Amino acid sequence: MADDFPKAGQVFGYHYLWKWQATRGETEGRKKRPSCVAIVVINEAGKHVLFIAPITSKEPEQDQVGIAVPETEARRAKLDVSIPLWVMVNELNADVLESSYTLDERSPRGAFSPAFTDKIVRGVQSVRQAGSLRLTRRT
């Protein structure tokens, strides 16, 4: 399982929990949405921690940072190309692969190119350095 999934840039269905929902005490994402594995790290216990970014058709608001998904990248990731999409990089879910109860779809639907994945990672890093990253731990 962990040998072939996940990798940064892969897109899959995930019950993403927005930070505003978690702040209200919610523990489950309201709907499964396309989401992108932005970063994978191995923690001190040897477990794979996934930092997952939501993909949305809603244009980012003033307090959000999103990266527009080009049509070519949407095709690669097997996303709807008929609507504008953004990868939100100012907000992530952190989930541990080996103990996740929310990662029920372990097979990616598609993946972004390495160049676009790097752009997402750089976006996350920039937001983090600015101190405005919203992180929701799912474990």
User: What Cα–Cα distance (Å) separates residue 87 from each residue in 25, 47, 64, 74?
Assistant: 24, 25, 11, 11
C-alpha of 126 from chain center: 16
What is the per-residue pLDDT for 81?
Answer: 97
CA distance 23 to 125: 23
Q: What is the pLDDT of residue 2?
A: 46
Structure confidence at residue 1 (pLDDT): 46
Pick the closest to residue 117 from 55, 37, 56, 41 (CA basis).
Answer: 37
pLDDT at res. 26: 86
Regions of the chain short of the pLDDT cut 50: 1-2
- pLDDT value of residue 101: 77
Q: Note the pLDDT of residue 27.
A: 85
14 CB neighbour count, 10 Å cutoff: 26
Domain 11-137, architecture per CATH: Roll (2.30)
Q: For position 28, what pLDDT does the model report?
A: 84
